[in-house]
Amino acid sequence: MPPADSWKLVLAVSLFGAVLASARARPPRQAVPASDLRRLVVGALALYGVGLAASLTHRVLIAVVLYSCGIAVSALAAWLSRAESGHQPPPDEEPADGPPPSPDGEPHFDWSRFEREFEDYARRHRPPVTSR
């Protein structure tokens, strides 16, 4: 590889590192408002758009800088979006999906009521209407 093109390799490795860091680094401790994340993404898209315009007008160096900045901003937005929002239950508590268990550990379920309601449903259930 000619020394004049070594900057491309350095740039590619740097951008790959930024994307990898956004996926593998420890998430931030505090959540970022969704509006700020949207602004970052819109900014990255604007950088991509201006980079496309620079590419179409054959301004390669400007396009490379704009695309690189867009990738870096996207990686930052991805990393910031991984923050805990605070709306999840603490890790030591399990979410309550069903009825609370009885003192012996088994969830309470009224089987006799279930059977009565099922029998009522089966009696009034009619066969489906067929199409013409």
pLDDT for the residue numbered 32: 87
Q: Residue 12 is encoded by which pair of tokens?
A: 């590619």
pLDDT for the residue numbered 111: 83
CA–CA separation, 92 and 82 (whole Å): 20
Please give the average per-residue pLDDT across 102-123, as a whole number: 80
**Residues forming a β-bridge with 107:** 101
Chain position carrying tokens 């004049």? 4
How buried is 81 (Cβ within 10 angstroms: 0-12 exposed, 13-18 middle, 19+ buried)?
middle
Contacts of 109 (CB under 8 A, 6+ apart): 99
The radius of gyration computed from the CA coordinates of the chain, to the nearest angstrom, equals 29
* Nearest Cα to Cα of residue 41 among 10, 11, 78: 78
Residue-wise pLDDT for 66-97, tens only, equals: 999 999 999 999 999 988 766 555 555 555 56
Residue-wise pLDDT for 9-65, tens only, equals: 899 999 999 999 999 999 888 888 989 999 999 999 999 999 999 999 999 999 999
pLDDT for the residue numbered 13: 93
Look over the chain and give the mean of its residue pLDDT values, rounded to a whole number. 84
* Statement: residue 132 has pLDDT above 70: no
CA–CA separation, 118 and 110 (whole Å): 12
Q: Residue 15 is encoded by which pair of tokens?
A: 């951008």
